[in-house]
Structure 1
Amino acid sequence: MIIAQGITKKYGKLVANDNIDLSVGSGELAVLLGPNGAGKSTLIKSICGLLRFEGLITIGGHENHTVEAKRLLGYVPEFPVLYPMLTVSEHLEFVAKAYRLPAWEERAEQLLHQFEMDDKKMKLGKELSKGMQQKVSVCCALLPQPKAVIFDEPLVGLDPHGIRELKAVMWQLRDSGCALVVSTHMIESMEENWDVTYIMVKGRIERVCRREEIKTGQSLEDVYFDITEGHKREETPNE
């Protein structure tokens, strides 16, 4: 569903993404891990068509900048950006009209109820807390019922109930055949259900790991630190 081939993105002399390949199939949840500055957000923004890059990215067989691809893809950014003078309901209406969604009101109501936002419908964007803004961002991304969804640090700022509900939504989306990419620093939060993990270090994919490859008793966190701390040791000269 999501295929990235040879993705390279440079900011002047800085190579943020260096010849990256990534593939996420329908019904698959991919976790994107890496320390700060590894290039995760750059890769995500490239997939979503927000940055120019070298290489090829397709969504459901369509190049990612096309209308067909954008109709298939939902995106929840790390920092939600709402219109300050639109209400929560108006944000959902705006998305519905942009995607020309028929009979969208019932699904919008279901999403708001699921994230305990029923009483926030008439709140302006500027009146919402960071966690509430994040919930609105998730609802807007899921309203068109995308076939692929990218979450960039989706759990940051959410309360415990919001975290539980969003994780449940992720599992439901995957079980329904949606392709998911989740970039996060909260590794333990993704231990339950993941299929493939891409570990990035300094703009490159250092390891692609599938769940069945994990040794008995080994956690995703263990794999992450084996890769990232091992990389640091290689760069540190012997005293």
Structure 2
Amino acid sequence: MERKVLEVINLKKHYKGNKAVDGISFHLNAGEIVGLTGPNGAGKTTTIKCILGLLRKTKGRILVDGMDSTKQESKYKLAYIPETPDIYPMLTVWEHLKFIALAYYIDNWQEYGSEILKRFDLWDKKDSLGRDLSKGMRQKLSICCALLHKPDVFLVDEPLVGLDPKAIRELKDAFKALRAEGKSLLISTHMLDTAEGLCDRIVVLKKGTLIMEGTIEDLRHKVNAGEDTSLEDLFLEVTEDEKE
């Protein structure tokens, strides 16, 4: 039986009558990559910030490995990788890890920190300042910082925007490596071709509501589409159906 490491249950977030997220439910299993997709303004980032507790939800429940997300213990099981990595320009790569270790009260982190940097091909950059890293390297450093406290679930917001093809390939490989280790990833993106090639399941939002969920094969079956139908075509077909 698959273990649910994240459950979002009837989540609602309203702003003075604006329903940014309106009653969505989905889950992540251990060792799974789920794409949270949809057009701009669909509620993807709001959903992630509610899961993290950065926004106070209007209604609903969020469980992290069975624990209510409001409990402090649940925070240690989560890691957040924003679209724009929070990299300090005047800290070296190694000093970023030291800063995270101090923030999380992690002792004897150096060996694991070295291992992480080597795994993500940043060891030769350990003495480089944050300001001197490319965006792809900053994204990978953000992952390394997130890994240091050994979370179970990674919440990733638009990770591939602005990256060149080589950096995109490297980051995708990094995400797949995390999945192979049993980590779970919720990746928010409006780049549907990226989600199709990377994610085990897809959750599609539109105007704060969940309109599609499942594997690509599941979604094709739901709309009676052919085997060659892309996620982009599926998404456009469903949103057209909603307009009618």
Verify the 8 A CA contact 1:6 1:20 in the aligned structure 2. Answer: yes
Candidates 183, 190, 193, aligned match of 1:178? 183
Deviates more, 1:66-75 or 1:76-85: 76-85
**Aligned partners of 1:108 and 1:160: how far apart in 2?**
27
Paired residue for 1:218? 229
Deviates more, 1:101-110 or 1:24-33: 101-110
Paired residue for 1:121? 126
Paired residue for 1:25? 29
Candidates 1, 8, 32, aligned match of 1:4? 8
Query: What is the 5 A alignment of 1:132-147?
Result: 132-147=137-152
Q: Secondary structure at the match of 1:37?
A: coil
Q: What amino acid sits opposite 1:142 in the alignment?
A: L
Shift in Å, 1:47? 0.7
Query: What is the 5 A alignment of 1:89-108?
Result: 89-108=94-113
Paired residue for 1:195? 200
**Aligned partners of 1:98 and 1:66: how far apart in 2?**
18
Deviates more, 1:71-80 or 1:152-161: 152-161
Candidates 42, 51, 54, aligned match of 1:50? 54
**Aligned partners of 1:192 and 1:44: how far apart in 2?**
21
Cα 1:172–1:115, aligned 2, differ >3 Å: closer, same or farther?
Answer: closer
Candidates 48, 62, 84, aligned match of 1:79? 84
Q: Secondary structure at the match of 1:191?
A: helix
Paired residue for 1:237? none
**Aligned partners of 1:142 and 1:50: how far apart in 2?**
20
Q: CA RMSD in A?
A: 2.1
Superimposed CA distance per residue, residues 115-151 of structure 1 (whole angstroms, 9 cap, x where no aligned partner):
4333432333344443333222122112222211111
**Aligned partners of 1:69 and 1:118: how far apart in 2?**
30
Cα 1:151–1:165, aligned 2, differ >3 Å: closer, same or farther?
Answer: same
Q: What amino acid sits opposite 2:76 in the alignment?
A: R
Q: Structure 1 regions of 5+ residues with no counterpart?
A: 235-239
**Aligned partners of 1:123 and 1:220: how far apart in 2?**
40
Q: Structure 2 regions of 5+ residues with no counterpart?
A: 221-225
TM-score by length of 2: 0.85
TM-score by length of 1: 0.87
Q: Secondary structure at the match of 2:76?
A: helix
Paired residue for 2:171? 166
Paired residue for 1:157? 162
Verify the 8 A CA contact 2:85 2:138 in the aligned structure 1. Answer: yes
Paired residue for 1:62? 67
Please list every run of at least 4 consecutive aligned residues from structure 1 whose deviation after the TM superposition is greater than 6 angstroms: none
Shift in Å, 1:193? 4.1
Verify the 8 A CA contact 2:43 2:205 in the aligned structure 1. Answer: yes
Cα 1:123–1:11, aligned 2, differ >3 Å: closer, same or farther?
Answer: farther
- Tell me whether 1:37 sits opposite 2:41 in the alignment: yes
Cα 1:27–1:64, aligned 2, differ >3 Å: closer, same or farther?
Answer: same
